């Protein structure tokens, strides 16, 4: 189960996206940037780890399969978000970024380079499911981060991440199935997928994609059994995906109130932890 504290923190972050000025802080700010395939999300927390601001922007081509393909596009969106936050009264500077699990070297550093390009101080990098585990406050289980382009898995034992993996299957593949079935453009299929009134009817069509994701998870968990899967990432919001995961893996499945916002919030918490530890 997802704790009430975790769900409340996610709900608070969702409310903070309005940037209504009611939560403008006077102390230190810590920023987390999630450069995703479908969305770029920036989260801001205060010294107590409470979410105070954030910006969410659609992103179609900047990131694909966990790699930064369009630096200019990613930088343009992030610069817009940073300017919007600062104009709203949040003078952010210290920030962390995240990368898909298994990403190493220059591919991982590329996510930090985007932050540096807009003038943020990069305090560290963290893999996406590990960041999510900070929000969920879990000490045992597997975090499954299903984004637009990839499915990431992190196994947590005794509060420590002991295994990570990432596979190129995500929401984009759902879009491709719908586009092929209806004979429409991928962008139109993506819009259809997000239409809450149509999701129940679309579920039988996209169920095989969710089964493939579940098979990926099951294969990566062979080396170390867990009892519970925690679903995060935008694609995890689709109704019915948790049932497919449970059926295919035989494990208990938990999903927070807004899976899309978990990872960016966790990245901001990671930034706060790093700087508090150093001080």
Say if CB 137 and CB 157 are below 8 A apart: no
Phi (first) and psi of residue 232, to 5 degrees: -135, 175
Question: Are residue 185 and residue 65 in the same domain, yes or no?
Answer: no
Q: Is 112 helix (H, G, I), strand (E, B) or coil?
A: helix
Instruction: Give residue 109's pLDDT.
Output: 87
| pLDDT for res 91 | 94
Do 14 and 33 lie in one domain? The reply is: yes
The pLDDT averaged over each successive group of 10 residues in the chain (279 residues) is 93 91 72 89 94 90 59 90 95 93 80 93 89 91 89 88 86 94 93 94 96 93 84 94 95 95 96 79
Asked if residue 253 and residue 144 are part of one domain, the reply reads yes
Is there a single domain that holds both residue 249 and residue 180?
A: yes
CA-based nearest residue to 220, from 169, 173, 164, 263: 164
Indicate if 9 and 128 belong to the same structural domain. Answer: yes
> What would the two tokens of residue 188 be?
């139109």
Q: What contacts 245, CB < 8 A, 6 or more positions away?
A: 144, 210, 213, 214, 217, 229, 231, 251, 253
Tokens standing for residue 169: 């299957």
Strand, coil or helix: what is 18? coil
Question: Into how many domains does the chain fold?
Answer: 2
Q: Are residues 23 and 89 in the same domain?
A: yes
Residue by residue, DSSP assigns 44-92 as: EE-TTS-EEEEEEEE-SSSEETTEE--HHHHHHHHHHHHHHHHHTT---
Here the CATH number for the domain that contains residue 59 is 3.30.420.40
Same domain, 115 and 158: no
Taking each helix axis from N to C terminus, what angle separates 171-182 and 199-220, rounded to the nearest 10 degrees?
Answer: 140
Whole-number Å distance between alpha carbons of 177 and 193: 11
Backbone φ and ψ for 121, nearest 5 degrees, come out as -85, 115
CA distance 189 to 176: 7
Give residue for tokens 């104009």. 87
Whether 87 and 170 share a structural domain: no
Q: Identify the domain containing residue 220 by its residue range.
A: 137-257
Nearest residue to 94 (alpha-carbon basis) of 47, 48, 127: 47
* Residues 87 and 119 placed together within one structural domain of the fold: yes
Quick one: 109 and 168 in the same domain? no
Same domain, 61 and 173: no
Do 127 and 8 lie in a common domain?
yes
Predicted pLDDT at 127 = 85
């Amino acid at each position: 189960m997802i704790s009430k504290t975790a769900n409340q923190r996610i709900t608070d972050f969702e409310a903070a996206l309005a940037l209504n000025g009611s939560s403008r802080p006077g102390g230190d700010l810590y920023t987390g940037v999630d450069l995703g395939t479908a969305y770029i999300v920036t989260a801001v927390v205060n010294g107590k780890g409470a979410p105070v601001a954030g910006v969410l922007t659609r992103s179609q081509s900047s990131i694909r399969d966990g790699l930064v393909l369009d630096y200019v596009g990613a930088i343009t969106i992030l610069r817009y978000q940073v300017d919007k936050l600062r104009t709203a009264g949040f003078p952010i500077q210290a920030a962390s970024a995240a990368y898909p699990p298994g990403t190493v070297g220059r591919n991982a550093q590329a996510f930090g380079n985007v932050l540096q390009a807009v003038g943020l101080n990069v305090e560290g990098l963290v893999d996406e499911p590990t960041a999510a585990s900070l929000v969920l406050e879990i000490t045992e289980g597997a975090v499954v981060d299903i984004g637009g382009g990839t499915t990431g898995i992190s196994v947590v034992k005794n509060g420590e991440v002991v295994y990570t993996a990432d596979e190129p299957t995500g929401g984009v593949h759902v879009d491709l199935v719908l586009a092929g079935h209806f004979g429409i453009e991928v962008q139109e299929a993506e819009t259809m997928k997000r239409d809450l009134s149509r999701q129940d009817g679309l579920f039988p069509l996209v169920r095989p994609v969710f089964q493939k994701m579940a098979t990926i998870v099951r294969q990566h968990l062979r080396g170390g059994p867990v009892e519970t899967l925690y679903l995060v990432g935008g694609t995890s919001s689709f109704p019915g995906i948790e049932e497919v995961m449970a059926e295919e893996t035989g494990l208990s499945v938990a999903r927070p109130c807004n899976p899309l916002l978990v990872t960016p919030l966790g990245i901001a918490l990671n930034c706060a932890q790093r700087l508090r530890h150093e001080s």
